[in-house]
Structure 1
Amino acid sequence: MRTWSAPEVPSLPVNGPQVSLHNTATGQLQKTSPTGAARLYVCGITPYDATHIGHAATYVAFDLLNRAWRNAGHDVTYVQNVTDVDDPLLERANKVKVDWVELAERETQLFREDMEALRVLPPAQYVGAVESIPLVIELIQRLQETGAVYQVETDLYFSVSADAAFGSVSNLERDVMLSIFAERGGDPERAGKKDPLDCVLWRGEREGEPSWDSPFGPGRPGWHIECAAIALEHLGTSFDVQAGGSDLVFPHHEMCAGEVQVAHPGSTFAQLYAHAGMVAFDGQKMSKSLGNLVFVSALRLSEVDPMAIRLTLLRQHYRSDWEWTDDQLWASVDTLDTWRLALARPAGAPSAPLVAEVLAALADDLDAPRAVAAIEKWVADSNAGDTSEPEAGAVVAKLLDAALGLSI
């Protein structure tokens, strides 16, 4: 699948510190230690509607990680999927009477445009669920060899009990798992399952639904096995960071880890799990079911500066749950105007301490609010008359782009 165009990113005169992230699995801050290229997997969209601010917050957050690694001197291998066949997509296509392939292609293209506008660095591998079906089949066959797969009618299930480490990503009690599983695409009450938490690997063909041939009969992949197979193919086992929204901790990331770890005994899926908080609007988490969505494309079409959107996201720590308001966006528009004045001055406050502070903040669990605060202080000092460094604005402009993805 085609990814989006990469923005030109300036290089900085110094390297940043090694990056530490909060590991969901341990609850602790953990230093990342890439061997060779840093390997990052961020779960992508199910393209049945436009990109909303909650999505954008997640992808901007882990774009900061991509940039922080690069600024620390690492190459980065970034992989992202597109779940371009799944129940929500098929249901939406049926509801609006549009071919599901057409809907998926249209919304995926809109996502690309949104990511380009927000200057999110593109993945090296952007892989759709449909094109990953051969990888899924291969992984299911490996799981069958371990005895971790069983059949219920025409569907294949993964036995979570086969993974001795099951539960170590989310650290949830079983009753909580069962509740969340039912809310997030699981079927804990289905008759014939060995364990209510067992998840679908291969969904047998249903009338009116797309299907593909396989050694297990016609059908299509389950949700979790898709990401597991793509990550395994392009990043291997024990890659550096598995990332996404906090609503993916369970069951999605737990199941992905279990499937790979059972298929490859003795391995770990990822060294670290990082998750972005949820964004609310009008008092509730943004969701398609509630309809309380703020779409990136709608803001762009109303001529809002995409950098103001990005700055609004950067003012929140990526792990925080927070609420979007229009007032925050308009404040960011004003802030950028103020910053542009400071950057345009022939001289400004010293830039070296600012570069060090911003890079240190982002290496410390992607602390973008701390980085933004440091920039605001530099701007205030420069606008107040500190002109001790000629052409400081040019250095700071490069810093804004390279570290925070803000091209102003």
Structure 2
Amino acid sequence: MNKKKIINDPVYGFISIPSGFIFDLIQHPYFQRLRYIKQVSMTHLVYPGALHTRFQHALGAMHLMALALETLRGKGIAISAEEEEAALAAILLHDIGHGPFSHSLEHTLVEGVSHELLSSLMMDELNEATMGRLDLAIEIFNNRYPRRFLYQLVAGQLDIDRMDYLSRDSFFTGVAEGVISFDRIIKMLNVIDNELVVEQKGIYSVEKFLIARRLMYWQVYLHKTVISAEQMLLKILQRAKELYGAGHSLFATPALEHFLRNKVTRQNFTEDALHLVHFSQLDDTDIWSAVKTWAHHSDRILQRLCSRLIARSLYHTELHAVLPEEGQLVQLRAEAVNYFDIDVADVDYYVWVQSIENSAYEPNNGTIRILMKDGSIQDIAEASDLSNLETLSRKVQKFAVSFPKELVHTPLSMH
């Protein structure tokens, strides 16, 4: 069978599958499942084109990794065929542990279990199935390989993952502010002492990358309507778990039922392989089929949340720089209790406040190092003459207040 396929990608054109081993990884059910998990969760309710998947993102990231390795080789960096295959496998599988609706439900179905841990567990299983062929990819993925630049390409401040998702998400949402010069950044990459650096000529492309990331967070990922939809989905699953716990009957696929019925923690995942089996069968369709069915459930709270989400009758959401006054929130909750004739104990399904944070550059999580013309290395914050780069590294916190549109009145005041 010919495994040297090419795939037509709307962002980059033709993507080549570089080897039979990579093809086999793509064909595995763990990876094929990513076709049915949307990359940006509920964002399509604001930007209708944003229906792209984790599958597309992973293939795009693999393509960019191949370009980066080719660039580094061209600059005299020795990269063996084994290292190349491992780096391609690591970036291809970096998101394999994402659950339905990506980040939205990350700590809801399975508490305290990150997609990185699940990716790691799935990679271990694939490694066993391929007789240790993923050993080096796993070393790179977990930052245990001495040639650290390979890990930095997979998960760093200027990694291949971010380059693809910014390019892809801006393409599918149509938000031009997210467009980055990924090709120029890749051409400017180099390696000094096994650490990834960007040549000084690429400094403006890196600045644009950081600004684009900040704008995409506020304009797309943390858009108030997207936040509203994601939180409604979260509350739906919270209510479903509550009803299951009280002995109510609910429609759910076997995989979804497993996580609604059982409290599955990080420890459970590492101790019993059955949880991973169920998780690997979960995707967006499990959740969406349940939501469509629960829209007709006898429980008023579950029925109302589901039917509103399906009809895109989303909760009104306001973003505030500081926490709204407690008195106003108390009043809002009282209005919800009266208007919807509900118990005070259930008011959190109608009115909620969440904290959201955004920082485009996190120097404490590894820095972006610039190779200056004189051979010295500087952090991007020092090397850049962009006065607001320091601002980009500061965490911005906002508070989102959501409640049904029926309760919309004068905007909430703040402390």
**Fold similarity call, TM over 0.5:** no
TM-score (norm 1): 0.30
Q: Which has the higher contact order (CA 8 A, sep 6+)?
A: 1
Q: Which has the higher helix share?
A: 2
TM-score (norm 2): 0.30
